[in-house]
Amino acid sequence: MSRHFGAERIYYNNFAAHLLNGYNPNMYYPGLPHRWHDSDWFALIDMIAEFGFNHFEFWLEPRLFCREGLDSAAGQEFHRQMSAVVERGHQRGVKTILLAALATSGGDWRTLCPNVPEEWAQVRQLWAEWTRRFDGVDGIAIFPGDPGACSRNGCTAETYIDKSAEIAQLIRSLRPTVEIEFGTWGPPFFGWGNLKFPEGWQGEFIPEYQHTAWDFSRDRTERSMRHLLQHLADFPDRTVVSINMGFNGNGDPDGEANAVGWANEIGRLRPIRTWDFSLTEGENAVLPHYRFDRLFAQRRRERAAAPYRGGICFTMTPRLNQLSLYQAAQSFLDPDADPEALAAGFYERLFGRPGRDLVPLLPLFEAVPDWGNCVQLHLSRGEYHRQMRLLVECLGDLDPAQGQAVAFHPTVEQYLAELRFFAELFAGLSGPAPDYGQLRQQYWQRVYAIYDLLPAHVDPRPQAATDRLIAYFADRPREQDLIGAG
Ligand SMILES: [Zn+2]
């Protein structure tokens, strides 16, 4: 396999049950909206292959990584459909990676403790059964958590490392050729030993404590990373390590959280990749993203920093952020490329020459401060509104028939309709007398209405994300108020 920078370009679709929305496949609730037919998946695989991806990664989220996931009709259908996707990928030169947290299991996101023998036996059994069941996947990835992780019964980052090596050996014994990925995600090793908890905790997910998994300590980092280096040999052959440039949410190599030295030390012994969530679309900020200057800048830093072979490109909105996905794949293929020129070429293929006119207006969607968003707008509300109206007009002039031959999912026509919806919405939000309640309802209906049909999730982020978007505009009511990040 090629070892050059960006050789492994991974499309990572996180369709977990807390990230459901109108643009993500619903993989868990037959009978509810947003189920994808096999044909949707095949069109998606064809599209991402054309964009330049050569891997597809999916999360076997805790709701599936449990006894019920294995046995239920929804779990069996998940396996059937994903196996068909794996097959399609192989026809298109796209390998598939299955990702699961080491020990987080079930719809309530409970983390089983490696230091409790019965719980650890259960974890081993789940890994063995899912590994056997998904016998067509090319890679199996272990990551620490988020959600979940254990700090009960003396569990530490070192426990996570040792126990991951044990699971990796189990996987290897069942699948002699599969590639294994070991994730360092977090500050590092998210939550293991540093996750705080109340008295009597039995490993269940507690939203109020989850942020403590990000608590950084130099001592913990030194100790655990050294332990990993000493124990890399415990992992089977063909193990890749994913490690970002920084042990923080943005993967930034700043200050004490700088991980570049460790990445290089690991890179001498095993292949490395990044696992950076922050670059493409953040989480639960569902809108058409355009944040590519930072994406390409980070790729150039990665290329210079350590022998990275590639990494993940995260999405929870594959039916809306096709441009982001294209840019993300291209950022690995050519970190020196100009994202504006790529965007212009992308839209010219879809809509002919007039498609290029969209490009300077698309950053307007990145008005709201959000994880990974560094776009600086600084427009008065009046000017923002004027430009957003211009985008609405531009979109109205485009002919989706131009892009009929392009491998795209869903159709170019549907994609154009979505861009129009968001341009109209943002024009409405920044207009002179918005009806915020009605605009909120429009957004909710289009994006998150599926949650009206579900019991309360352990992680109710969609409501908060919708409120944040509306409040951003509602709290800046005057024409001269500035719109833009910060
Ligand atoms: Zn434990």
- At 121, which helix (H) or strand (E)? helix 117-133
Sequence spans of domains, the chain? 8-337, 352-483
Buried/exposed code over 335-357 (b: 16+ C-beta within 10 A; e: otherwise): beeebbebbbebbbbbbeeebbb
* pLDDT for 486 beyond 70: no
Q: How far, in Å, is the centroid of ligand 1 from the Cα of 169?
A: 20
pLDDT at 382: 95
Q: How far, in Å, is the centroid of ligand 1 from the Cα of 120?
A: 9
Q: How far, in Å, is the centroid of ligand 1 from the Cα of 231?
A: 20
Mean pLDDT of 358-366: 97
At residue 485 the predicted structure's pLDDT band, cuts being 50, 70 and 90, is low
Q: How far, in Å, is the centroid of ligand 1 from the Cα of 204?
A: 12
Q: How far, in Å, is the centroid of ligand 1 from the Cα of 115?
A: 5
Which one has a higher pLDDT value, 369 or 446? 446
Determine which of 2-6, 166-170, 274-278, 361-365 has the lowest per-residue pLDDT on average. 2-6
* pLDDT for 2 beyond 70: no
Q: How far, in Å, is the centroid of ligand 1 from the Cα of 351?
A: 54
Q: How far, in Å, is the centroid of ligand 1 from the Cα of 202?
A: 9
465 contacts: CB under 8 Å, gap ≥ 6: 284, 285, 286
* pLDDT for 69 beyond 70: yes
Q: Model pTM greater than 0.85?
A: yes
Rounded to 10°, the helix 38-51/322-333 angle is 40
pLDDT at 1: 44
* pLDDT for 424 beyond 90: yes
Among residues 185, 199, 84, 108, the alpha carbon closest in space to that of 141 is found at: 185
Q: How far, in Å, is the centroid of ligand 1 from the Cα of 160?
A: 9
Q: How far, in Å, is the centroid of ligand 1 from the Cα of 336?
A: 44
State both tokens at 265.
């030390």
For residue 434, the SS3 value is coil
pLDDT at 18: 87
Q: How far, in Å, is the centroid of ligand 1 from the Cα of 66?
A: 18
CATH 3.20.20.80 fits 8-337, yes or no: yes
Mean pLDDT of 238-252: 97
Buried/exposed code over 178-211 (b: 16+ C-beta within 10 A; e: otherwise): bbbbbbbbbbbbbbbbbbebeeeeebebbeeebe
* pLDDT for 349 beyond 90: yes
Q: How far, in Å, is the centroid of ligand 1 from the Cα of 205?
A: 13
Q: How far, in Å, is the centroid of ligand 1 from the Cα of 251?
A: 27
Determine which of 104-108, 288-292, 341-345, 482-486 has the lowest per-residue pLDDT on average. 482-486
Cβ atoms of 246 and 253 within 8 Å: the answer is yes
Q: How far, in Å, is the centroid of ligand 1 from the Cα of 54?
A: 36
Residues 365-423 pLDDT 10s: 999 988 889 898 999 999 999 999 999 999 999 999 999 999 999 999 999 999 999 99
120 contacts: CB under 8 Å, gap ≥ 6: 103, 112, 113, 114, 163
Q: How far, in Å, is the centroid of ligand 1 from the Cα of 144?
A: 12
Q: How far, in Å, is the centroid of ligand 1 from the Cα of 148?
A: 11
Q: How far, in Å, is the centroid of ligand 1 from the Cα of 103?
A: 9
Residues 291-343 pLDDT 10s: 999 999 999 999 999 999 999 999 999 999 999 999 999 999 999 999 999 99
Q: How far, in Å, is the centroid of ligand 1 from the Cα of 310?
A: 32
Residues 185-212 pLDDT 10s: 999 999 999 999 999 999 999 989 999 9
Q: How far, in Å, is the centroid of ligand 1 from the Cα of 262?
A: 26
* pLDDT for 91 beyond 50: yes
CB-based burial label for 389 (10 Å; 0-12, 13-18, 19+): middle
Q: How far, in Å, is the centroid of ligand 1 from the Cα of 152?
A: 4
162 contacts: CB under 8 Å, gap ≥ 6: 231, 234
Mean pLDDT rounded to a whole number for the chain: 95
pLDDT at 277: 87
pLDDT at 17: 86
At residue 458 the predicted structure's pLDDT band, cuts being 50, 70 and 90, is low
Cβ atoms of 48 and 329 within 8 Å: the answer is yes
Q: How far, in Å, is the centroid of ligand 1 from the Cα of 113?
A: 4
Amino acid (one-letter) located at 277: F
State both tokens at 186.
């977090």
Q: How far, in Å, is the centroid of ligand 1 from the Cα of 194?
A: 11
Q: How far, in Å, is the centroid of ligand 1 from the Cα of 130?
A: 22
- At 384, which helix (H) or strand (E)? helix 381-396
Measure the CA–CA gap between 60 and 58, rounded to whole angstroms: 6
Q: How far, in Å, is the centroid of ligand 1 from the Cα of 185?
A: 18
Mean pLDDT of 446-460: 85
* pLDDT for 35 beyond 80: yes
